[in-house]
Structure 1
Amino acid sequence: MLQPFGFTQYESKIYEALISINEPLDATGIVKRSGVPRSKVYEVLHRMSEKGMILESTVDKKRQYTALPIESTIEKLKADFEANVEHLRNIPTVETPSDDRVWTLKDDQSIQAVQREMIKEATDSIIISGWADDLRVHLPLLEEFERNGGEVEVHTIGELNTSITNVSVLVPNSMHEALERSRILIIDHQVMIFAGIEQNVWQAIQTESQPLVKFFKEFFYHDVALTEITKKYSDTILEDSNIRELLLKLRY
């Protein structure tokens, strides 16, 4: 019950045992209901008390315990979370010079979060490519950046309803069935992140290495060029099997 919020398994079991009964319990009752070993129960109860998750009382020289009510627990967990976030936000950071290291990152939510922060920190230009449903989450920031005078270039797989001026759209058809999902984001021609799916898991690399930034910038324009060629000469491409097979070996 409480493990997702950073509590131990024993702490979670004791809280669940106390909250699921409408009467206080002593240590013996808690051991029976929770399955926490007697050798550990007092230690865990002490920690829970220190964290403000249980109430204690002494009745007839016997220590009894009850759980903090659910709604109070929810409010406490929210307050603790917000306090921790504020603490994290206020940790002083030291500005470091750019370097050529390549950082790896996993988990789609983490990658999207890093992309949002990169977009927010842009000052001059943003180059971004990806599938339309992935790009939509960033549209408000991208559109605001362009309205404020920034340069935005977008390459999207699938239709994207946006006010951004410079958008290249590839509408997939049967010829593009093998297309793999990926994302490129380049900020101010200085830092980039490339993300793709490997073994059904999103993984990314992020770097300020200028050779890699230049490579992925050219990769972006390569995709744009292929899209425009496909649009303009689609009839020729579909009729010529050699050209079609060659293009299908390239990434859009």
Structure 2
Amino acid sequence: MLYKFGFSQYESKVYETLAQTMQPMDATMIVKYSGVPKAKIYEVISRMVEKGMVLESISEKKKLYTALPIPLVVEKLTAEFQADIQELERQKAKKEIVDDRVWSLKADASIHAQIKQMLLEAKNSIRYSSWKDDFTAVLPILEEKEREGVAVEALSVGEVRSELKNMAVMEPNEQHVTLERFRLLIVDDAEAIFAGMEDGSWQAIKTRSQPFVRVFTDYFHHDVLLTKITTKYNDVLMNDKEIMAQLLQLRY
């Protein structure tokens, strides 16, 4: 009976023999009725006692044994089975391998498709920044994700009309000679993609590597903060040539 639950054949025979009688039995009687070899009986009984399937007692200097009642066996095996399932789930989570490689991607259409897919799969948070035209292309997704409860932070280079609650807009001027086109997306604090122009063509890198994701997240917050500062104190900064010259060297 217990053989199907991972017990050995001898263990199953010992339990069945004890369960079929109302009277406690000693090792000699168990050997007689179970068919377990005498040389093995104490080893088998000891294992069953350790597993909680057999109870032992000493009466008149003789060890007697009885079986755990079947209803309790069912409860015990069920509880252990559920515990094993939970442990298996925990082990599965522990062994889940994160792909921390850095992938390169080329072609504007492919990069846009990748960004769109990442946005649609976002569960908790989105941080996205890009130039106005690229921003407008994904704006409906950003607004829908925010309505679904995803935390969205955004930065647009160029004014965009949007319903987003947490959005910054940076208006470049003719002095921003080093400002280059870019796209940056961080999803769920777990995956990032950064795209830029090189020799007139879009190129991007995508990664789940946490050090890179954290760097890109800091990069995003850096851009947002600088945008807010330069917007709020534009008149003051424009009159300070030294600070303005340094600010214009930044990519934001």
Give the TM bin, normalised by the shorter chain.
0.5 to 0.7
- Determine if the alignment matches structure 1 residue 207 to structure 2 residue 207: yes
| 3-state secondary structure, aligned to 1:217 | helix
AA in 1 matched with 2:249: K
AA in 1 matched with 2:115: Q
| 3-state secondary structure, aligned to 1:244 | helix
- Counterpart of 1:164 in structure 2 is 164
Alignment of 1:48-63 (within 5 A): none
- Counterpart of 2:173 in structure 1 is 173
AA in 2 matched with 1:164: L
| 3-state secondary structure, aligned to 1:120 | helix
User: How far off is 1:175 after superposition?
Assistant: 2.4
Query: In 1, distance between residues paired with 2:175 and 2:235?
Result: 12
- Counterpart of 2:135 in structure 1 is 135
- Determine if the alignment matches structure 1 residue 104 to structure 2 residue 96: no
Alignment of 1:60-75 (within 5 A): none
User: How far off is 1:173 after superposition?
Assistant: 1.5
Conserved? CA contact 2:178–2:249, under 8 Å: no
| 3-state secondary structure, aligned to 1:176 | coil
Give deviations 1:16-52, integer Å, cap 9, x for gaps.
xxxxxxxxxxxxxxxxxxxxxxxxxxxxxxxxxxxxx
AA in 1 matched with 2:120: K
Q: Gaps (5+ residues) in structure 2?
A: 1-95
| 3-state secondary structure, aligned to 2:246 | helix
- Counterpart of 1:234 in structure 2 is 234
- Determine if the alignment matches structure 1 residue 124 to structure 2 residue 131: no
User: How far off is 1:229 after superposition?
Assistant: 1.1
Q: Gaps (5+ residues) in structure 1?
A: 1-95
Query: In 2, distance between residues paired with 1:250 and 1:141?
Result: 29
- Counterpart of 1:154 in structure 2 is 154
| 3-state secondary structure, aligned to 1:204 | strand
Query: In 1, distance between residues paired with 2:146 and 2:240?
Result: 40
- Counterpart of 2:198 in structure 1 is 198
Query: In 2, distance between residues paired with 1:238 and 1:153?
Result: 27
- Counterpart of 2:88 in structure 1 is none
AA in 2 matched with 1:169: V
Q: State TM-score, norm by structure 1.
A: 0.61
User: How far off is 1:174 after superposition?
Assistant: 2.1
Query: In 2, distance between residues paired with 1:101 and 1:246?
Result: 34
User: How far off is 1:189 after superposition?
Assistant: 0.4
Query: In 1, distance between residues paired with 2:187 and 2:97?
Result: 16
- Counterpart of 2:183 in structure 1 is 183
- Percent same amino acid among aligned pairs? 49
| 3-state secondary structure, aligned to 2:175 | helix
User: How far off is 1:126 after superposition?
Assistant: 0.5
User: How far off is 1:142 after superposition?
Assistant: 0.9
Which of the pair has more CA radius of gyration? 2
Query: In 1, distance between residues paired with 2:132 and 2:154?
Result: 10
Question: Bigger shift: 169-178 or 209-218?
Answer: 169-178
